[in-house]
Structure 1
């Protein structure tokens, strides 16, 4: 740890802490992810994350995948991984390219039930810049999927930027899955379904369809698209911290209620079988993804199919948007 000075904690999660620091050898700013391995619970595994990151380096990962600079043990049991420092998440990067409007303020003397609200934004991102972001993430996913790796947690906080150019970098492989059995921990037909975050979870995860594949990453990227191309920097589902049952209803009301003819793999779910869903056509694509051209909407529609195996691949997303 003496190789890294001016250490400051910048993020704290259930299983890890992230610090910014200065590398004593290069004098460059880095990010250090420290994981207490004794506290880890499946699917979290820092040892497998290190193993994957080393494989990515051997396979010459594209610029859209983060780079492991160093790894060491701290306090006997903690695993510390060193990465390039990224100044922005996708959300903060988009806000840098937006106009900020006035936010309302909390005034307990006027309304005791009022709460402070977050600032509102109007995006100034160009369509071309948005396309480059989605292509960059798709390029990273194409690399991962080509190696048999499902990321399992694509979301704005795991898409980073070093500067103001729209070159996204995928980070955080702590719950990623390596085909065929995740280093002997999960069979391909019985993967852990408690993965992903909030609104970025694919429908098959909500119904515990455990033989899912790369499609969970594609669905999550589709939800990210609705954020990138929105005018107010809000994804199609605004409540990002949401319970699965509520998310299920929001997906059905937005993309339509699926039948077994539309979604054959749902037959594997006893929960789906018990539901008595009324037919609902969903919202028009123009409403879900406004302000983009028909080609982008066509790509998006192919990403957001219920049947996960029918979703287009990351490579196809990159090609169709090029």
Structure 2
């Protein structure tokens, strides 16, 4: 039976959400055995070890699993025993049994964050196998909006945190699923706008993988009143995964924005230790955007009107404003990696309109036989 990591029960111990997450993540990354992991996670009273939701058919089976204790977490609506697993600017995520509960922070609504639009987008993507499924939504006892999802024990960021490049089979399996998800949403005109490792949920270290975090996604109908197709918000994406067209003020960007982010994530997966191919400081730090632009130019070479003809129409043109860095061969940018994956990264991380689409890439080039 496969087991998964468990969070410390913290609500009655005076431990903050951030501290609890840090304790659990450190235990998961540093422990060499399940016993060692549990000893690090365990508070004053015994901490439950729960089975993966992949092996729990329903909440009753979960409640009957060995080590499960009631009343050790907080209550969210009708859900008892909820433990914190993640937090962000506009939401906090808790786990209760086989469910993950995304609690929207009151008064945190700000474009492009829109939980109501997120619900509508996820409802429109129901039954898409590689998109995390929205199970429902409700208002809890504090009238906070809560989104219900199936719980997944890992993210791609968790695998990267271990410090080792993914195996070829892992990479092929995980990114095939992500490409399927992107092909599905792009075929509906949806742009995710925040592709990053933590947005890719995993049922196990080898998948299946599910695309999540649709809180800032753009939809051709649901977003039209606040963001017309040619006047989209530019403050999207996270850190090193942001695409250059948004950095240079192109408000007409489309699905290729996601494919750039995927290329950066893929480059991270095949490097050892895993690290984004570009460097970026935190968004709140002065000059973070300029620093990312400089890193992109140093890595790929400064774009020219020939290599990025579309940029001639941008509000801020990327030409003749920077030191000129020559283009570098991909064998130098990504040495000692599988040539098939390097070729795919090169097809995704290009300035012009020739950037590969999800439909063009998957699933053939990611097939395990070719990895």
* TM-score (ref. length: structure 2): 0.72
Question: Contact (CA 8 Å) 2:279, 2:292: kept in 1 or not?
Answer: no
Match of 1:130 in 2: 171
Match of 1:26 in 2: none
Could you say if the C-alpha distance between residues 264 and 135 of structure 1 is closer, same or farther in structure 2, counting changes exceeding 3 Å? Answer: same
Could you say if the C-alpha distance between residues 251 and 143 of structure 1 is closer, same or farther in structure 2, counting changes exceeding 3 Å? Answer: same
Match of 1:61 in 2: 128
Identify which of 241, 247, 267 aligns with 1:200: 241
Q: CA RMSD in A?
A: 2.0
In structure 2, the residue corresponding to 1:149 is in which secondary structure? coil
Residues in 2 aligned to 1:240 and 1:231: alpha-carbon distance in whole angstroms: 21
Identify which of 204, 223, 227 aligns with 1:182: 223
Give the deviation of 1:76 after TM superposition: 6.0
In structure 2, the residue corresponding to 1:71 is in which secondary structure? strand
Question: Contact (CA 8 Å) 1:38, 1:77: kept in 2 or not?
Answer: no
Match of 2:18 in 1: none
Question: Contact (CA 8 Å) 2:232, 2:251: kept in 1 or not?
Answer: yes
Question: Contact (CA 8 Å) 2:95, 2:101: kept in 1 or not?
Answer: yes
Give the deviation of 1:271 after TM superposition: 2.9
Question: Contact (CA 8 Å) 2:77, 2:141: kept in 1 or not?
Answer: no
CA offset digits 1:244-295 (Å, max 9, x no partner): 1100000000011001222122223343267433432233212333333333
Match of 1:111 in 2: none
Residues in 2 aligned to 1:165 and 1:13: alpha-carbon distance in whole angstroms: 26
Match of 2:81 in 1: 6
Matched, 1:271 2:316: yes
Ranges in structure 2 where 5+ consecutive residues have no aligned partner? 1-75
Residues in 1 aligned to 2:222 and 2:320: alpha-carbon distance in whole angstroms: 31
Matched, 1:52 2:96: no
Identify which of 125, 134, 137 aligns with 1:71: 137
Identify which of 323, 347, 355 aligns with 1:311: 355
Instruction: Show the 5 A alignment for 1:1-322.
Output: 1-22=76-97, 29-36=98-105, 38-57=107-126, 60-62=127-129, 64-75=130-141, 77-95=143-161, 121-123=163-165, 125-179=166-220, 182-239=223-280, 241=282, 243-272=288-317, 275-307=320-352, 309-318=353-362, 319-322=364-367
Which structure is higher in RCO with an 8 Å CA cutoff and minimum separation 6? 1
In structure 2, the residue corresponding to 1:296 is in which secondary structure? helix
Give the deviation of 1:191 after TM superposition: 0.5
Could you say if the C-alpha distance between residues 293 and 273 of structure 1 is closer, same or farther in structure 2, counting changes exceeding 3 Å? Answer: closer
Higher strand share: 1
Question: Contact (CA 8 Å) 1:253, 1:280: kept in 2 or not?
Answer: yes
Ranges in structure 1 where 5+ consecutive residues have no aligned partner? 23-28, 99-120
CA offset digits 1:113-167 (Å, max 9, x no partner): xxxxxxxx343x3223212222221111001101111000000111111223232
Question: Contact (CA 8 Å) 1:198, 1:241: kept in 2 or not?
Answer: yes
The number of residues matched between the two structures is: 287
